[in-house]
């Protein structure tokens, strides 16, 4: 079994984050530091440790939906000692966020200890749509929205086709609905910056068919069976 897959099954982190931990030299196999991507282990014989602590696969898989408030980071640790979304979840099992919502963004966040499911939800090739409600400065023109939808040059990449539509016009701002199929760092904010309309408020409403609905801010719930079935069929 590949080392990053084993780490995901142990609930350490998603496969992508597990690869980062391997690169950082945080993982040992039989007390040897491993930094090779795709390193193969035998789960029945090898002892895998993360920062010196042995890890084993999680027995019970948990699937949680949260309405993330602003002012929380979606990482399991933070060098600035900021509040973490994991502080809001009262379960004995170790769960971690699926993807990220930045510190100043609220809304739908999934948490789990199922690394395979986390991988399917975050990898661009699965094209899971994510819908956001954003308040932006000014009002975008038709031309700007066409550029937004066609793909924008952001740093060293071009965004995939997206959607944007105006919901309501305010005095100096506009509320828009944005749909993307990627999940790069601060992507929605960077895309809005690229067309000259910075985000002042941002909230994620849905991931695929999963809707935030009326879940109160800062609260969480377990996924319903039909929601879990949908995710596993992606």
In sequence order, which residues have a C-beta less than 8 Å from that of residue 59 and are 6 or more positions away? none
Cβ-based neighbour number of residue 28 at 10 Å: 16
Q: Reply yes or no on whether 114 is catalytic.
A: no
Specify which residues 175 forms β-bridges with: 135, 168
Element (H, E) at 133: strand 130-137
Q: In the chain, what's the furthest Cα-to-Cα distance? A: 65
Provide φ and ψ at 37, rounded to 5°. Answer: -70, 135
First-last CA distance in the chain:
23
- Closest CA relative to residue 114, chosen from 8, 1, 227, 7: 8
Does the CA dihedral 40-125-127-216 come out positive or negative?
positive
Question: Which among 42, 87, 90, 102 is annotated as catalytic?
Answer: 102
Please give the distance of CA 68 from its chain centroid, rounded to a whole number.
12
Residues serving a catalytic function are: 102
């Amino acid at each position: 079994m590949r080392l990053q897959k084993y780490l995901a099954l142990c609930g350490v982190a998603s496969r992508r984050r597990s690869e980062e931990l391997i690169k950082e030299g945080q993982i040992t196999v039989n007390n040897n530091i491993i930094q090779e991507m795709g390193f193969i282990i035998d789960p029945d014989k090898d002892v895998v440790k993360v920062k010196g602590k042995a890890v084993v696969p999680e027995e019970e898989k948990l699937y949680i939906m949260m309405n993330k408030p602003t002012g929380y980071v979606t990482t399991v640790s933070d060098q600035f000692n900021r509040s973490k979304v994991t502080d809001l979840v009262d379960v004995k099992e170790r769960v971690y966020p699926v993807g990220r919502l930045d510190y100043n963004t609220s809304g739908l966040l999934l948490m789990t200890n199922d690394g395979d499911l986390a991988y399917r939800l975050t990898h661009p090739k699965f094209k899971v749509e994510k819908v956001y409600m954003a308040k932006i400065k000014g009002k975008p023109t038709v031309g700007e929205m066409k550029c937004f939808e066609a793909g924008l040059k952001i740093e060293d990449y071009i965004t995939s086709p997206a959607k944007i539509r105006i919901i309501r016009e305010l005095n100096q701002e506009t509320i828009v609905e944005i749909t993307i199929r990627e999940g790069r760092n601060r992507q929605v904010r960077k895309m809005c910056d690229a067309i000259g309309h910075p985000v002042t408020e941002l909230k994620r409403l849905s991931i695929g068919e999963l809707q935030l609905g009326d879940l109160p801010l800062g609260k969480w719930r377990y996924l319903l069976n039909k929601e879990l079935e949908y995710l596993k069929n992606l």
